[in-house]
Amino acid sequence: MTDPAGSSDEHLVVFTPSGLRGSFSEGTSVLDAARQLGVDLDSVCGGRGICGRCQVTPTFGEFAKHGINATVDHVSIRGTTEDDYRGRRPLTDDRRLGCAATICGDLVVDVPAESQVHRQVVRKDVDLGDLALDPVLVLRLVEVPEPTLDESIGEIRRLVDSLATQWDLHHLTVDDGLVADVQRALAAGNRRVTVAIRDDHRIVAVWPGLRDRALGVAVDVGSTTIAGHLCDLATGAVLATAGTMNPQIRFGEDLMSRVSYVMMNPGGEVELTNVVRAALDELVGDLVGQVDTTRDEVLELVLVGNPVMHHLFLGYDPIPLGGAPFALAVDEALDLAATDLGIEAHPAARAHVLPCIAGHVGADTAGVILATRLGQPVDQPPADQEATDESGDTRLVVDVGTNAEIVLSGGGRILAASSPTGPAFEGAQISAGQRATPGAIERVRIDPTSGEPRFRIIGVEPWSDEDGFAEAATATGVTGICGSGIIEVVAELWLAGLMDADGVIDGPGTTPSTRIEPDGRTFSYVLFDPAELGLDGERLLITQNDIRAIQLAKAALYAGIRLLMDHLGIDTIDEIGLAGAFGSHIDTIHATVLGLVPDCDPDRVSSVGNAAGAGAAIALLSGSARRSIVDVVNRIEKIETALEPAFQDHFVDAMAIPHRTAHYPCLSTRITLPERPAASAAGPERSGRRRRRNGAVKEEDTP
């Protein structure tokens, strides 16, 4: 290669979209030219015309910007190598193999995204953001020369020397257990083998001949659901997604009940570990089965989970997490053999576990931070950059669950805490509560004039007051109400004036309704009566105890958020993201009406989906992302809510709907909020007066 202004027997070549350019002598392959310029052009086979990764598109015409007039004869015609190519990626008419096409004149060559090693990955099924691939494991085909009598070196050194010569890879090491595999592969492949190189320096696997695909699995080990994504490590393609129920549920619905099980049953942690590992292994089998491949192609896994799940799938004792000081067994990122976790994959498969943040803020939150890029520049890719939020905005992400994880960033700082919301948002402790399965009420609207409800259930498109609902609901029934429906019905009861700001159904100043009926010493709201729609089943009521359970949960969450705001020294938040399976289905307006989160511009309150799983996928596909999250976690300020005196004050104020004292000017631009009475200490059990409404005597709770 010479300077672009070189001699006339050389040809100017410009690569797009990188814009890199240089002059090359006639007959130089496009792949060699790309390598000399540092163009991001992939190859596994090293220019042998086998893998098809180096496909490019020569473009012809007059390019005034580059001073090039390119014609079809400026690149060699197709030859035997391209005619005989039968690789995994088809070679279309306009594409050429960079290793086979040679330069015959000035040329503009486009490198398509799928031929770039560090391509941007955009996935609709898993939101990876603006991710640039940075593979932690690559495959390289290499030809190793035959041994000779005048050489006294072993096959491992020949392999390493050949990789240095053919791929410019230096200082490689080979795992001791791989020596026999190298010998066998060299013999079976006629001295041509493919090696897997991990972390730029370790040869971890070898196969005879060409091996052009390595797969990875990203897994979010949730307390209720285990979700996994199967990815091609070289392309970033998400090939399959699957989920399964966490079998530990039979030992306890929530995390603390599982810790209690271990406390009360010595050795119980082994049982809990075994069942979750078996579920992980079955999930991997499900994923590879979806794309008709084998487990032997899986060479990398990334796992995330909350601290209790983290300890249980790793085989650590979770009991210390059950009480102060909530001591983690290990908090840093881990690299383990997948086989040590009971996962059947390639023998060299590694399981990478993201770091935990604190005793109740785990590796799943590290995944959330990666996916949402908290603490990182918001206008640039996160790889290899200083981890600091330079936008000036304050950003909050909440992973809503039994134990809500809260992360707040702004002013170059990032803070994290957990808040004990309990299982109410997941349907537990709610009289008609259930998980989000077909038949569960997921959306609710209440007419403020009549007090009549309308709702939608999972699995049925029409609302309950629309044509076709009863017929469609016959298959599923109306079986209960899930978390998103619970949020909406409580918010709607207040908006419709059927419940006061203290959460009292039919409380002082509320509107009468035939839907409200006595229920012991309190009152309940009839959300669903099957007789009204001609359906089978039982009536579904929203009871005063249901309201109280939601108030307790949302107050704990809000108080945790408010504590972080205090520590950051702010009174407003610019952007809020709701993460997790539950957070993904919450209506953000109703969540704010309820007081689940502070007031914020409604356009900047959104669901961020399964951010923990997306973060695991990002870490699977990017080594720089793994390094960046370690840096961010090391900077996080951990706030322990149990030790904060202000938590109780914030909690008490947050019991009101939406809050006893906080104002909601941003929310008020979207919805008319009822007037709230002057701050009081009233609650559902504070009024002992008796009233008559709708012909029924009411006696509210007494102190």
The per-residue pLDDT for range 65-76, each reduced to its tens digit, is: 788 999 999 999
Note the pLDDT of residue 208: 96
pLDDT grade, residue 118 (50/70/90)? low
Do residues 91 and 190 share a domain?
A: no
In a domain, 367, yes or no: no
Do residues 98 and 140 share a domain?
A: no
In a domain, 358, yes or no: no
Separation between Cα atoms, residue 205 and residue 299, nearest integer Å: 9
* Spatial contact of 286 and 335, defined as CB atoms under 8 Å apart: no
Do residues 141 and 231 share a domain?
A: no
- Total domains in the fold of the chain: 5
Note the pLDDT of residue 515: 95
Better pLDDT: 613 or 257: 613
The per-residue pLDDT for range 364-382, each reduced to its tens digit, is: 999 999 999 987 654 434 4
The per-residue pLDDT for range 24-83, each reduced to its tens digit, is: 999 999 999 999 998 989 888 888 888 888 999 998 888 877 889 999 999 999 999 999
The beta strand positions in 378-521, using DSSP E, are 395-399, 404-410, 413-419, 440-446, 453-457, 480-481, 516-519
The per-residue pLDDT for range 637-651, each reduced to its tens digit, is: 999 887 888 999 999
Last residue of some domain: 294, 322, 353?
A: 353
Most confident of 146-150, 557-561, 683-687: 557-561
Do residues 445 and 534 share a domain?
A: yes
Note the pLDDT of residue 297: 96
Quick one: average pLDDT of 209-213? 92
CATH number of the CATH domain containing 293: 3.30.420.480
Note the pLDDT of residue 693: 39
Residue 246's closest CA among 257, 231, 260, 230? 257
The per-residue pLDDT for range 425-484, each reduced to its tens digit, is: 766 678 998 877 789 999 999 999 999 999 999 999 999 999 999 999 998 899 999 888
Note the pLDDT of residue 251: 82
Which residues contact residue 2 at a Cβ distance below 8 angstroms, ignoring those fewer than 6 apart?
A: 10, 22, 23
Alpha helices, DSSP H only, in 513-587? 530-533, 544-568, 580-585
In a domain, 2, yes or no: no
pLDDT grade, residue 4 (50/70/90)? very low
Amino acid at 533: L
Note the pLDDT of residue 126: 66
Residue 451: domain span? 432-542+682-699
Do residues 40 and 179 share a domain?
A: no
Q: Which helix (H) or strand (E) holds 614?
A: helix 611-621
SS3 content of the chain, % helix, strand, coil (to 5): 30, 25, 45
Do residues 295 and 240 share a domain?
A: yes
Q: In what order do the strands lie in the sheet with 522-528?
A: 516-519, 522-528, 540-542
Do residues 226 and 348 share a domain?
A: yes
In a domain, 391, yes or no: yes
Residue 221's closest CA among 684, 620, 613? 613
Do residues 491 and 443 share a domain?
A: yes
pTM recorded for the entire structure:
0.79
Do residues 227 and 349 share a domain?
A: yes
Last residue of some domain: 115, 149, 184?
A: 115
DSSP 568: H
CATH number of the CATH domain containing 62: 3.10.20.30
In a domain, 366, yes or no: no
3-class SS letters over 626-662: HHHHHHHHHHCEECCHHHCCHHHHHHHHHCCCCCCCC
Note the pLDDT of residue 686: 38
Do residues 24 and 103 share a domain?
A: yes
In a domain, 271, yes or no: yes
The per-residue pLDDT for range 651-690, each reduced to its tens digit, is: 999 999 999 999 999 999 999 999 876 654 444 443 333 3
Furthest CA-CA distance within the chain? 108
